[in-house]
A and B are shown apart, each in its own frame.
Chain A
């Protein structure tokens, strides 16, 4: 466990090295970035192997940072953080693999990329609210540059919108935290802040600020509009990280800070959040159904799937919250995979993302690997049993039912929508021309005649297989993660949350 802080330091160090190496050789920067991402992931896996599940945060480092304000450099982890840092390591590694074709200012690209990852690791490991906030901000800045410099389609607009939304969200969070700090008179340590005492009215106000601030980044309807435009504008690996990991920052903030600190606020706002989550699931699903831009379909699908996470949090019982954490992991993997196929495998070759154009191409023949990957990822995204989305969404639906059956029924409609828009995109993009799968997969002889595209490269294959393996493994053995998550929810901090915020 005590290894975990090294994920942050290693990644920061790797960022500096990649920047230095990039000045000389793009290849060196790439390999350094891959080595760094792998090292970070390796550390998380090692820590996971040594992890003893139990309630409460297990402190990793705890030293004074800004004593005047009572801010401490306090890193700690429990099963929930562990789940998310493992996801971060996996997504970071896959993201580097799908960035292999970045040739413009490679060193800077990977430096910013790793900086973002370091911030994400930091957020997931922070046990001090202000430290968490600092890492959170650290993760926002690189996103702007990644999108504005290496992005596509209205990149400056997308980047600016994303950053403005993020900063507006953080401003709310900061306001809420300062209010809580002033009211409690304690430091910023999460445990201290949770001790309060706050009046119910204060909790309602603080919860609103902090939860809303974080939820913006989790894509809470109607504050989700940054997500599709940002995802679309970003370069592939950044989209993967945005949807895969950064949106989880928001959800994690809600779960780690807003819920346990202000349970009475949760009790007050619970129905509002749940209905907004359901509205997001349905609304984004419907919008995804009519998009012509392939990447927008995936962008909106992310909003829809994150709606399940927020619904799980709002349902506030052990099953639903556990399901929400599992869904965070699952969606991180699946969204990464979908963006990889759309952005890297397809768009970088065809230079179009319009379904109307892709329809005219027999893509399943030209890019069979991409087609198969997308089909599997699409099935996972639809929540088909056997893939990780299924146990996660099932747990959330079950949990939501326990709190209010109407929520579960409304959210179930989202499952149908997800199937509809995924199938539609799959059909239009890959099987547009009446299928003659034959030539593609059997006879190598026919291939040169119909393959104007560069074949799928090894980093793409490796990245795709990594992510596919993860979603299948968790689909069949979700208890691997649930065994970490469930005991963590026994922590005293979560007890009020799991009763729907009731004291």
Chain B
């Protein structure tokens, strides 16, 4: 069992599927679709297998794979799994097949769509599992390529601009990230995350001004990807113009790559710099949470509404991190553990919920003949009761109704932040309130009230559409009712962080 390279299998099976799709592309769209789905599901299967082999009580890396790659550059092929990465692998396994199902009707070159999608999926998984900067950065940058083409080719009318903006912003951030790591490598001659984090981070090793410069570089690269307010301007057009399945993956998985980077790289490598900057950064995170919610309040386009709502929700994860980092060793252990538990769980929850909501908007679009305005629909509950019910569950999960997953993580974050920085928790509550307003407004306008222009076209959900939403909804209930399932994976890890400082 221990000899099998589980983690490489998780990353490379989707890529193998992509090759196979290119090879078998002549067999027609149906074969392409099923192949893509099967290989996309492999992540869930292999992720569950890894879960079975995983010992949750141990906070360190498990299933580690490590070998020399480029001795001249001290680059190793180093993969490892802990509770946080495992949760994100499982999230990818849930979201990716659902995203393919949501774009099942994609008529234009399904094989190429599937191919790019599988490449994207493999890259994201690589980001969650790599423990050496070099392979990590390959996966990080490589994910942009399929994302660019998926948005560019299958997106809406403004897709060209949105895709360009998305890639340039992210590459711009990555250049700073790269420069930061070039600086780190110049001093330490290693690119291994655990080795870099050893001994309390890099501040002492880099020296005074350059530790801050390297910190800023890495910070910028990650902040653009998340995105952290005010680096978010690429996000609404990209999410809105992307085809449904891609929007689901972008918000569900790719936005987590940035947050994951904050936890895995920035915090362990620069605990002192992050501690110093946390006050300012917490304001940015709070700003994102509130401004995102405010912006969502006035959106007419449902996809843009969800995009801003995503911004708001993801900012919660970072708010928790910055509160913890800002409090430093002085923070009460209980609050720290709560905030971190909440933040990691929120990554998972937001991924599941936001993907489900984007899927719902995709289904609305299919019924409304491409329209997706807030006022284009109405009264759908009468003609499509199942749709109304399922979408309602996802909406309520997103606004944090107890019994569903969002409540657990947001509660934990608020609980932790209250103990560490009460003012920020109060501000975050405002964001939650606003979220409730615009999500309820969404539900009200679309499913209740008089029929709009897009209604009447709407048959109820097909079997495929139900299947798209079902796993996500199941997970929402599971995590909402038995949070231990997920927290059991995270808690030992964050307890170790709370006790001994962050570890990569």
Contacts and interface: CB of A to CB of B under 8 A. Distances in A.
Interface stretch (B138-146, B318-326, B459-467): B138-146
Contact of A382 (B25, B112, B171, B183): B171
Contacts of B153: 431, 435, 437
B183 A405 contact: yes
Contacts of B179: 397, 401, 408-409, 412
Interface string A385-428: 11000010011011101100100110011011001100110010
Contacts of A415: 175, 178
Interface in B231-280: none
A419 B175 CA distance: 10
B168 A479 contact: no
Interface of B: 25, 70-73, 108-109, 111-112, 134, 137-138, 141-142, 145, 152-153, 157, 160, 164, 167-168, 171-172, 175-176, 178-179, 182-183, 185-186, 210, 213, 217
A232 interface: no
A402 to B, nearest CB: 5
B72 A401 contact: no
B109 A441 contact: yes
Interface residues of A, number: 41
27 contacts: A379-B145, A384-B142, A385-B142, A394-B178, A397-B179, A397-B182, A398-B183, A408-B182, A412-B179, A412-B217, A413-B175, A415-B178, A416-B171, A419-B171, A419-B172, A427-B160, A427-B164, A431-B152, A436-B108, A437-B108, A438-B109, A441-B109, A441-B112, A442-B109, A477-B70, A482-B73, A483-B72
Contact of B73 (A419, A420, A478): A478
Contacts of A412: 175-176, 178-179, 182, 217
Q: Which 5 pairs show the lowest CB-CB distances between chains A and B?
A: A412-B179, A482-B72, A397-B182, A385-B138, A401-B186
Contacts of A434: 157, 160
A413 B213 CA distance: 14
Contact of B72 (A386, A408, A479): A479
A486 interface: yes
Contact of B183 (A401, A413, A437, A486): A401
Contact of A402 (B109, B134, B142, B186): B186
Nearest to B183: A401
A416 B175 contact: yes
Contacts of B134: 385
Contacts of A413: 175
Interface string A370-391: 0000000001001011100001
B257 to A, nearest CB: 15
A398 to B, nearest CB: 4
A478 B168 contact: no
Given A385-B142, A412-B179, A416-B175, A479 B167 contact: no
Interface in A341-379: 379
B73 A391 contact: yes
A135 B497 CA distance: 63
A296 B73 CA distance: 34
A401 B217 CA distance: 13
A416 B172 contact: yes
Given A412-B179, A479-B73, 9 more contacts: A386-B138, A398-B185, A401-B179, A416-B172, A423-B168, A438-B108, A479-B70, A479-B72, A482-B73
A409 B73 CA distance: 20
